[in-house]
Amino acid sequence: MRVAMLHWAFPPIIGGVESHLALLCPYLVRQGHQVSLLTATAPGTPVEESWQGVVIKRSPLLDLNSLTPAVIEARAGEIKELLENFLLAVRPDVVHAHNFHYFSYVHAASLQEICRRHGWPLVLTAHNVWDDELWTRMNSLARGWDLVIAVSHYIRQELVVNGYPPERVTVVYHGTDTNTFRPPSPEDRQALYTSYPEWRGRRIIFHPARMSRAKGCDVSIRALDLIRREIPDVLLVLAGTTNTVDWGQKQPAEVASLQDLIASLGLEENVFIRFFPWQEMPAVYQGAEVCLYPSAFQEPFGLVMLEAMATARPIIVSRAGGMPEIIRPGYNGFLVSMGDHEELARYTTFLLRNPEVARTMGQDGRRLVEENFTTAVMARNTLEAYNQLLALPRAS
């Protein structure tokens, strides 16, 4: 099968959708499919390359960090030409766009018209939902997708209530690579302390998300202020301060405000901040005893849950969005109320004080991933969705 993927970013840009594609696309290639990806330009990357068998074409016309609504409208013709030329070169059996149901009406409407005209089946994976004027406008295109894959039942319900035909929306959960994300060996630990000597002798808790209030970084910082009073050698590791999609250029101000919060609480000696390249993330999980992800919004899924679980680490997340579909409280992690740093501190402190319980919960999480959330399971379910679409009449 020839599959044409489209998304706004790809590694070295990091994020949940980028990680998802970096797993799914090469896996489909290894299964004998031809996969091409159209994505945005990124520092240090060529315009076209082959990566693990995936043909990657990059263009600034998909770079959300530089595109503004005015630029998109002014270059609408170029955008449509780019999309059509890419697809004509691929000659796809299936076109699969990721998060094209937001950010740009021009991109989405152009893609739908091109696929309709050429008879190419068009799949959308909805990794997120929104609540603003652009989202309302984008929902007028809801019937233009032949099949919609939602990454959680939460996302599916939100799509349906916003006008997406229920019969076209299916759920395919994310998966992760259980060979890359795995419990550490003694050699892994030694390599970790060689790379990060500051971590030796510290009780590491890891917040694996870009630094922002939406991802609950301020909640983790405030929880840390309570945790360090009982466990003085605790160290909170924060990641993702660069190389992310920053629609609206909001991140620098958020990072500055979070650094101010750390300073105001006197936590400089208990926080480690660094951008970790995508390939280093598995080692960072291995260095942690507990992972935190207290998102301050209705998180659609949260791929980091699977990465932590695959590494046999318990994870504490907000009772929000699709995350309660994955986390079983007291089994593979805990759920906390959104924004409640005291509750987050309580569960984190419990796990740090009871390492045997944390170890058991981590092992249970690893088993859950091996059974339900591997890359193989995700790819198989995606291919099943493709085949079901190909057997159905085309959407009008």
pLDDT tens digits, 129-154: 999 999 999 999 999 999 999 999 99
Let me know whether 105 and 118 are in one domain.
yes
pLDDT band with cut points at 50, 70 and 90 for residue 290: very high
pLDDT of residue 18: 93
Beta strands in 7-127 (DSSP E): 34-40, 48-51, 54-59, 94-98, 122-126
Let me know whether 163 and 249 are in one domain.
no
Structural contact between residues 318 and 216, judged by C-beta atoms closer than 8 angstroms:
yes
pLDDT band with cut points at 50, 70 and 90 for residue 237: very high
Let me know whether 150 and 202 are in one domain.
no
CATH of the domain at 56: 3.40.50.2000
Structural contact between residues 211 and 243, judged by C-beta atoms closer than 8 angstroms:
no
Let me know whether 203 and 260 are in one domain.
yes
- In the predicted structure, residue 297 carries a pLDDT above the cut 50: yes
Q: Is residue 155 part of a domain?
A: yes
Q: Is residue 266 part of a domain?
A: yes
pLDDT of residue 246: 47
Q: Is residue 252 part of a domain?
A: yes
pLDDT of residue 277: 83
Residue 116's domain comprises: 2-175+375-390
pLDDT tens digits, 316-328: 999 999 999 999 9
Let me know whether 149 and 260 are in one domain.
no
User: Quick one: average pLDDT of 348-362?
Assistant: 98
pLDDT of residue 249: 57
| Percent of the chain scoring above 70 in pLDDT | 96
19 compared with 115, residue with greater pLDDT: 115
Let me know whether 210 and 310 are in one domain.
yes
| Lowest-pLDDT range of 152-161, 244-253, 262-271 | 244-253
User: Quick one: average pLDDT of 48-55?
Assistant: 98
Q: Is residue 97 part of a domain?
A: yes
Let me know whether 74 and 134 are in one domain.
yes
**CA 183 to each of CA 134, 305, 330: distance values in angstroms, whole numbers, following the listed order:** 42, 15, 20
Nearest to 316, CA basis, from 346, 297, 344 = 344
pLDDT of residue 110: 98
Let me know whether 198 and 88 are in one domain.
no
The strands making up 48-51's β-sheet, listed across from edge to edge, are 48-51, 54-59, 34-40, 2-6, 94-98, 122-126, 147-150, 169-171
- In the predicted structure, residue 103 carries a pLDDT above the cut 60: yes
- In the predicted structure, residue 247 carries a pLDDT above the cut 90: no
| Percent of the chain scoring above 90 in pLDDT | 88
Residue 356's contacts (CB-CB under 8 Å, 6 or more residues apart) are none
Let me know whether 164 and 42 are in one domain.
yes
For the chain, what is the domain count? Answer: 2
Q: Is residue 288 part of a domain?
A: yes
- In the predicted structure, residue 241 carries a pLDDT above the cut 70: no
Q: Is residue 205 part of a domain?
A: yes
Let me know whether 73 and 216 are in one domain.
no
Q: Is residue 396 part of a domain?
A: no
Q: Is residue 395 part of a domain?
A: no
Let me know whether 112 and 157 are in one domain.
yes
pLDDT of residue 279: 85
The Cβ of residue 306 has, within 10 Å, a number of other Cβ atoms equal to 27
**DSSP-assigned beta bridge partners for residue 147:** 123
Let me know whether 93 and 76 are in one domain.
yes
Nearest to 29, CA basis, from 3, 7, 9, 10 = 3
- In the predicted structure, residue 371 carries a pLDDT above the cut 70: yes
pLDDT band with cut points at 50, 70 and 90 for residue 14: confident
